[in-house]
Amino acid sequence: MAPTPEVDDRPRDPQGRAWYQPGWLVKLNLAPFRPRIVESLQDYDRERLWRDVGAGLTVGIVALPLAMAFAIASGVKPEAGLFTAIIAGFLISALGGSQVQIGGPAGAFIVIVYGIVERYGLANLLISTVLAGGILFAMGLFRLGVLVRYIPVSIVIGFTNGIAVLIALSQVKDLLGLHPASMPADFVGQLRTLWACREQFNPYALGLGLTTVAGLFFWPRLFSPSGIVPLALHGTRGFRVAARMPGPMMVLITMGAITALLDLPVATIGSKFGGIPQSLPGLVWPEFSWEGIRHLFMPTFTIALLGAIESLLCARVADNMTDFRRHDPNQELMAQGIANMVTPFFGGIPATGTIARTVTNVRAGASSPVAGMVHALALLLVVLVAAPLASHVPLAVLAGILLFIAWNMGEWREFFKLRQYNYTYRTILVGTFVLTVVVDLTVAVEVGLVMACVFFIYRMSTLFKLQPLPAAGADHNLPHEPAGVAVYRLYGSLFFGAVGKVEELPDQLLPGTRVLVLEMQRLISIDTSGLDALVQLRRTLERRDVALLLCEVNDQPLSLIRRSGQDKLFGERNLLPDLPAALTRARALCEATASAFT
């Protein structure tokens, strides 16, 4: 006789893979390391290559002034932003889980990076970035990419608008031509410093900055069908070439040339930083110490959290703009983690997905991550060939570019639409915004999440109801409950935030009640606190000589009752399949009680 095959009854995931090894040793369900470029290069042809090369070169032109501006605003040298865009941009595209996302230094990091440099120094920024990269990689490896989606949109809008305000404030000194000895990281301190340096105001710097903002605003509008350029010129070669030139690059070249030709007395990259080195970055090895790492826990957590949010939000924007397969959030986080672990050793700063450059990449016709890799190589070529030209770029022009980015970064219309939303949404959004600007981004996100959780618990508790059924027989074609029987129907979810309604139930019963029936057909779930509330309800009723019957208990509550062993406390005879059976049982209990007193 053939032996009976063993049945593998180990718990499995939705793909049919066992979660546990023999011997019930836990097997971690880790995310596979599968960069999107492997899939994208299948059936890759020359046409797609030329599209990616063109898109990469376009994004590289856009990224050049932004990388330098983000670095300077973050309190580091401009080459740190360029090296970050080159190294991190290449790694994020080559190893990421998105088809078209572009990585590099981002405006969202300006406030965080500046604060870390101001408080802990550049060496500790590099350490914090490496540690944040490790956290990001672990988040992706353990499939935590989906958790970022659980952050409420009110918090995202609140801290995004707050960061936009702080970015704009950080550029006021260069916009006005001020040169304070040091600039504090906090909002109030910056305002005081700017006011103390007001006598250093430089009208030439202000003129360059405002002209830059105006140029960025009007440049794309010049080439629209309703623009000021005559329609007769729209089909010319010169018009088509000019229309493809990014606004930031145009104002950078134009304002830089005007400054050099007129010899305007304004600060430039060359006068403040000595220019940009025309060479590859050297290896930087920061000094690691447990004492230093211990103080960097919150900055590290902030970089990791903000990097995860920004990169996955950017990837979702790209998904909505294209017909490519949706991004893999876990692979994207692993790529972001590797990029942030490698870049600091070459003098780089934190990197993440960038919406402006990703949108440019999509609109330029990118079809694979090759475009992002080309963008990084294009920036490397610029550094090796044209770095000396960057010395003539005025800081006021970079300030104007960042002011324009900050304005576009904020979702200001949400403030005007607050009346359309409930009190919870308004409180979380405004609270997160104010805390981001006045206190700190980390505190803002923490408090915002706590407020969101508290409001959610309160809202869910209001959905739980205990409704008396005084005429169950008339409503359900059932026998009328005898005197001394109270019937209540439970709705929603009985969890720790709603147990107060169950605790108040004994005081709501009429005098002479002998049996309480809880009809639980519409109770979809219960947690351990809810079960404990039912247990305490039964004990309270028992002291008052009132029996408790549960009927039509759904699978999840019934499973918890049985797994916890509380079915023995309630008694199997008191767990009824439906309301008619419960009323029959209640009638029998009332009659037994009545006969005991006669």
- Which pLDDT score, from 0 to 100, does residue 86 have? 95
490-539 pLDDT tens trace: 999 999 999 999 999 999 888 888 999 999 999 999 999 999 999 999 99
**In this predicted structure, what is the pLDDT of residue 533?**
94
| Gap between the Cα atoms of 122 and 305, Å rounded | 20
Q: Rounded to whole angstroms, how far apart are CA atoms 355 and 361?
A: 10
CA–CA separation, 357 and 12 (whole Å): 41
What pLDDT score does 226 carry? 62
Higher pLDDT, 277 or 13: 277
Instruction: State the pLDDT confidence band at 81, using cuts at 50, 70 and 90.
Output: very high
Q: Which two tokens stand for residue 39?
A: 């899939």
Q: Which of 538, 532, 547 is nearest to 498 (CA)?
A: 532
The arithmetic mean of pLDDT across residues 348-361, rounded, is: 89
Topology at the third CATH level for domain 465-596: Transcription Regulator spoIIAA (3.30.750)
Tell me the H-state helices in 223-354. 237-244, 247-262, 269-273, 290-295, 297-321, 329-342
pLDDT at position 234 is 59
Mean pLDDT of 300-306: 90
Q: If you average pLDDT over residues 410-428, what whole number do you get? A: 88
The pLDDT-based confidence of 25 (bands split at 50, 70, 90) is very low
Q: What is the pLDDT of residue 470?
A: 65
- Residue 237 is predicted with a pLDDT of 66
**Which residue would you say has higher pLDDT here, 384 or 135?**
135
Structure-model confidence comparison of residues 85 and 42, the more confident one: 85
**Can you give the C-alpha Rg of the chain in angstroms?**
32
Banded pLDDT at 275 (limits 50, 70, 90): confident
Average pLDDT estimate for 132-148: 90
Instruction: Report the distance separating Cα 181 and Cα 164, nearest Å.
Output: 24
Q: How confident is the model at residue 241 (pLDDT cuts 50, 70, 90)?
A: low
Q: What is the per-residue pLDDT for 63?
A: 87
Q: What is the pLDDT of residues 315-345, one digit of tens each?
A: 888 888 888 888 999 999 999 999 999 999 9
Confidence grade of residue 287 (pLDDT, cut at 50, 70, 90):
confident
- The gap from C-alpha 456 to its chain's centroid, in whole angstroms, comes to 18
Task: Name the most confidently modeled range: 24-28, 158-162, 497-501.
Answer: 497-501
Helices (H) and strands (E) in the chain, counts: 27, 9
271 residue type, one letter: S
Q: Give yes or no for residue 425 having a pLDDT over 70.
A: yes
* Rounded Cα gap, residues 102 and 58, in angstroms: 12
Can you give the pLDDT at residue 598? 43
Mean pLDDT score, 87-100: 94
Across the range 554-558, mean pLDDT stands at: 92
What does the pLDDT read at residue 355?
83
What pLDDT was estimated at residue 225?
A: 63
User: What is the residue whose two structure tokens read 């910056």?
Assistant: 190
Structure confidence at residue 391 (pLDDT)? 82
- Most distant CA pair in the chain: distance in Å? 113
- Other C-beta atoms closer than 10 Å to the C-beta of 370 total 22
Mean pLDDT over each residue of the chain, to the nearest integer: 85
Within 349-477, residue ranges assigned H as helices are: 355-363, 370-386, 395-409, 413-416, 423-438, 441-463, 472-476
Rounded mean pLDDT of 547-554?
A: 93
Residue 42: is its pLDDT beyond 80? yes
Which amino acid does the sequence have at 24? W
The pLDDT of residue 329 is 93
Token pair in block for residue 432: 């997160």
**Two tokens at 6?**
């063993």
User: pLDDT tens digit string along 461-486?
Assistant: 888 999 888 644 444 455 555 678 89
Whether the pLDDT of residue 91 is over 70: the answer is: yes
Cβ burial of 475 (10 Å; 0-12, 13-18, 19+) is exposed
Domain ranges of the chain: 48-419, 432-462, 465-596
Other beta carbons less than 10 A from residue 484's beta carbon: 18
Confidence band of 94 (pLDDT split at 50, 70, 90):
very high
In contact, 97 and 332? CB cutoff 8 Å: yes
Please name every residue paired with 466 in a beta bridge, in sequence order, or none if there are none: 490
* Cα four-point dihedral sign 506, 507, 510, 511: positive
Q: Residue 429: how many CA atoms within 13 Å on its side-chain side? A: 20
Beta bridge partners of 467: 489
Examine the pLDDT at 105 and tell me if it is beyond 90.
Answer: yes
